[in-house]
Amino acid sequence: MADTARDKNVVLLPPTQKLGWLDRRIPMLRRDRIEFLTGQASLGDVTTFRMGPARVYFINHPDLIRDILVVNADKFIKGRALQRAQKLLGKGLLTSENEFHLRQRRMIQPAFHRARIAEYARSMTEYADRMAGDWQDGSVYDIDQEMMRLTLQIVGKTLFDADTDEDAGDVGKAMETIIGMFNFLVLPFSEVLEKLPFPHTIRFNRARKLLDNIIYKIIDERRASGEDRGDLLSMLLMAQDEDDGTGMTNEQVRDEVMTLFLAGHETTANALTWTFYLLSQNPVAESKLHAELDAVLNGRAATIDDLAALKYTEHVLAESMRLYPPAWAIGRFAVADHELGGYTIPKGSTVLCSPYILHHDARFWDKPNDFIPERWESQSVKEAGQKNIYFPFGGGVRRCIGESFAWTEGILLLATLARKWNLRLAPGQQIGLKPLITLRPKFGMRMNVVAR
pLDDT in tens, 265-279: 889 999 999 999 999
**What's the mean pLDDT in 9-21?**
78
Give a yes or no: residue 53 inside a domain: no
Give a yes or no: residue 42 inside a domain: no
Say how many domains are in the chain.
1
**What's the mean pLDDT in 72-89?**
78
pLDDT-derived band at 262 (thresholds 50, 70, 90) equals confident
Structural domain of 411: 72-327+392-451
Give a yes or no: residue 234 inside a domain: yes
Give a yes or no: residue 243 inside a domain: yes
Give a yes or no: residue 5 inside a domain: no
Give a yes or no: residue 361 inside a domain: no
Kindly report which listed range (87-101, 167-181, 359-373) carries the lowest average pLDDT score.
Answer: 167-181
Question: What is the number of alpha carbons within 13 Å of residue 44 lying toward its C-beta?
Answer: 18
| Long-range residue pairs from 293-300, CB within 8 A, at least 24 positions apart, any chain | 293/415, 293/418, 293/419, 294/419, 297/415, 297/419, 299/419
Give residues with Cβ within 8 angstroms of 46, minimum separation 6. Answer: 14, 57, 58, 59, 60, 61, 64, 340, 341, 342, 343
What's 195's domain CATH number?
A: 1.10.630.10
The model scores a pTM over 0.85: yes
- Residue 58: pLDDT above 90? yes
Give a yes or no: residue 26 inside a domain: no
Give a yes or no: residue 379 inside a domain: no
